Amino acid sequence: MSTQSTVGAPAGSGATEAPRHHPGLALTVILACQLMVILDATIVNIALPDIQGDLDFSPAKLAWVVNAYTLAFGGLLLLGGRTGDILGRRKVFTLGIVVFTVASFVGGFATNDTWLLAARALQGAGAAFAAPSTLALLNTNFEGAERTKALSIYSAVSGAGMAFGLIVGGLLTDWLSWRSVLFINVPIGLAILVLAPLYVRQPERHPGRFDLGGALTSTLGMVSLVYGFIRASEEGWSDGLTIGSFAAAAILLVAFLVVETKAEQPITPLKLLLHRNRAAAYTNMLLLPATMFALFFFLTQFLQEVLDYSAVQTGFAFLPMALTQFGMARATPKLLPKFGPKPLLVVGGVLVTAGIVWLTQIDADSSYAAAVVGPMLLFGTGSGMSFLPLNMVILSEVQPKDAGAASGLLQAMQQVGATLGLAILVNLFETARRDSTPAAGSSPTEIKHHVLSDGIASAAVGGAAFAVAALLISLFAVKLPKPPAKPAA
């Protein structure tokens, strides 16, 4: 029996509406959605200590406040992208915003950990249906030089939004409470719902099938894989449920590949991965967020627990990274015509690797100026230089009918990389904490700082491995000719 359900729609049936022509407002609506879903992947990091104290999370389970969102987001993105292609991207974009906004409102009232994690997962599900349409809507609403400019701003917002989320989270947590980091989405979501039908043009729909088998196996497979790493950090590698989770993940992910090879219209057209450069760029879209999200998660704890920063101080401590990341993302479009994507990816990879290697030297006596600012500047510059070239390599030469799937896979790689990377590095973090040996005679506070710093340094070693792997892929797997000095529009 087929696992795909047919939904027919005449090609172009969604293109009859004529919203008002206002490129600035159209771009604002699209970017507001992208910024909102990106912010929510990091904005809660600053609030984690407050959430832990208020809702009684264990240290290992605390990672699920981040993972519940990114896992649902990454796991359902492929289905969200395909749904937009079939039902209409603006319609699915709007539906995703509705779910995201309602989940944010409900989550703000959470009184226990289960309630909050369920709301975070529902936020991720809403984001998974809204986010894949953003790139497709950019392509529909902008052409030529305007499209290049819009894509540049989109990449800058996507990259720097993660760091700016920490600043916003710090302000909201310090001035109001951790609940405000969820409530802030409600007015933004309502504004998007009002403005999108008025100013955002609807791309054409394409008749097709829903690959339910692919969606189910990919989502459950990734959930099992990430849960296995989280479970291992709490109960050890010999735990029966840990082993069972990894076994289930292997079976489900193999089944996903089998389903995709046989499906008439797969949720992930494997032909997207047959292009050498695109496959390399997708892999780096997995590895870069794996390092980045862990950096946010662990440095937040170091700043608050070891350096005793307040929530707002912690948020602004990330400002050097946010500014360099945004500035470099805005400068990259001017560098691309001159140097091409590969040199920028290599230089960006070197800077990211240097930043995360620097963090492996962190200890309980490290200061912000000596041990944190430098890695942030390197990481911000390197990642800001990398996102636009990766987006361009991935989306180049993609057929319109596969645009939603390609965009969904791009963002799925980011979210799955973030979730899986954090799960792996939390495991290294917890193992190092258990094995840490503070000096004899240390006070309880000194012991706490020493143990936490040891865990962060060990997690940074894992992050450095991700960064080195991404750098090697950029060096040896990406094969791109240098473009002409003045490429055609």
What are the domain boundaries of the chain?
A: 20-211+263-476, 212-262
Joined together, the tokens standing for residue 99 give 């779910």
Q: Give the pLDDT confidence score for residue 405 in this predicted structure.
A: 67
CA count, 13 A, side-chain hemisphere, 17: 18
Mean pLDDT by 10 residues, the chain (489 residues): 43 46 74 77 75 74 76 74 74 87 89 85 87 71 69 70 72 81 87 80 64 81 76 76 89 88 76 80 86 79 85 81 82 81 89 91 87 89 85 73 69 75 81 78 81 86 91 83 48
> pTM for this structure?
0.73
What DSSP assignment string belongs to 429-455?
HHHHHHH--PPTT--HHHHHHHHHHHH
- The class that CATH gives domain 20-211+263-476 is mainly alpha
Q: What is the three-state SS of 1-37? A: CCCEEEECCCCCHHHCCCCCCCHHHHHHHHHHHHHHH
Q: Give the pLDDT confidence score for residue 257 in this predicted structure.
A: 86
The angle subtended at Cα 244 by Cα 63 and Cα 429, nearest 5°, is 30
| Region of residue 436 (left: phi > 0; alpha: psi -120 to 50; beta: else) | beta
Q: Give the pLDDT confidence score for residue 485 in this predicted structure.
A: 47
Of 42, 305, 289, whose CA–CA distance to 163 is shortest? 42
Q: Give the pLDDT confidence score for residue 31 in this predicted structure.
A: 78
Give Cα separations from 2 to 5, 259, 264, 266 (angstroms).
8, 10, 10, 12
